[in-house]
């Protein structure tokens, strides 16, 4: 799926002239599912329900700590015990975004194309109440404004064009950089 992410980034930046550079970062890769890697989302959920029971699984996925519960239940359901834990996922997401910011011109718009669990980890840290129950939709837009003092979530999981365009209002706009989930070639 790394190829899919790079393809998505290329399609988005193709409409911008001059075309912004595509910076590929391995830290933007998806959550590591360990022995569940390659299984569909439904298969992973089914496995956790079978292992822990319906009631326990849903208790883990509800409330303000539902994302932490989801990551914990996936990690515990991994037969190899190698799935990424939440602190590691959050640290990797923070490291990736810090690297993207450091490589970008001041006051520039930055496009980050990544994966649902990694981006959900970022939203979980910044505004857990804004993280959708079913996490982020494929190709949805989430906007985070970053200043020297704070990171502010301005929109989460947007898929309608009018909602996405409404976010443009107060942004300082320069050519966006695009970051994707693979190391530079």
- The tens digit of pLDDT for each residue in 93-120 reads 999 999 998 888 877 888 899 999 999 9
For the cut 70, the answer to whether the pLDDT of residue 182 exceeds it is: no
Write down the pLDDT at residue 155: 94
Task: Please report the pLDDT score of residue 79 as a whole number.
Answer: 94
User: What percentage of the chain's residues is helix, strand, coil (to nearest 5)?
Assistant: 45, 15, 40
Q: Which tens digits make up the pLDDT trace of 63-104?
A: 668 899 999 999 999 999 999 999 999 999 999 999 998 888
Q: How confident is the model at residue 171 (pLDDT cuts 50, 70, 90)?
A: very low
Sequence ranges of the domains in the chain:
1-29+106-185
Spell out the residues 6+ positions from residue 122 whose beta carbon is closer than 8 angstroms to its own.
93, 94, 97, 144
Q: Which residues pair with 177 in a beta bridge?
A: 110
pLDDT of residue 63: 67
pTM higher than 0.75, yes or no? yes
Predicted local confidence at residue 179, as pLDDT: 53
Query: Rounded distance, CA 31 to CA 43, Å?
Result: 16
């Amino acid at each position: 799926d790394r190829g899919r992410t790079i393809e998505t980034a290329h399609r988005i930046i193709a409409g911008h002239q001059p075309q912004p550079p595509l910076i590929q970062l391995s830290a933007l890769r998806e959550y590591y599912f360990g022995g569940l890697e390659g299984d569909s989302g439904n298969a992973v959920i089914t496995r956790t329900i079978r292992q822990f029971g319906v009631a326990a699984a849903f208790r883990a996925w509800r409330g303000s700590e539902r994302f932490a519960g989801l990551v914990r239940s996936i990690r515990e359901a991994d037969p190899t015990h190698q799935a990424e834990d939440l602190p590691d996922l959050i640290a990797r997401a923070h490291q990736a975004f810090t690297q993207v910011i450091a490589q970008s011109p001041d006051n520039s718009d930055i496009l980050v194309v990544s994966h649902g669990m990694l981006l959900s980890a970022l939203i979980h840290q910044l505004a857990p109440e804004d993280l959708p129950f079913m996490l982020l939709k494929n190709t949805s837009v989430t906007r985070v404004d970053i200043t020297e003092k704070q990171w502010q979530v301005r929109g989460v999981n947007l898929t309608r064009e009018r909602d996405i365009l409404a976010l443009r209002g107060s942004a300082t706009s320069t050519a966006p950089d695009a970051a994707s989930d693979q190391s530079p070639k």
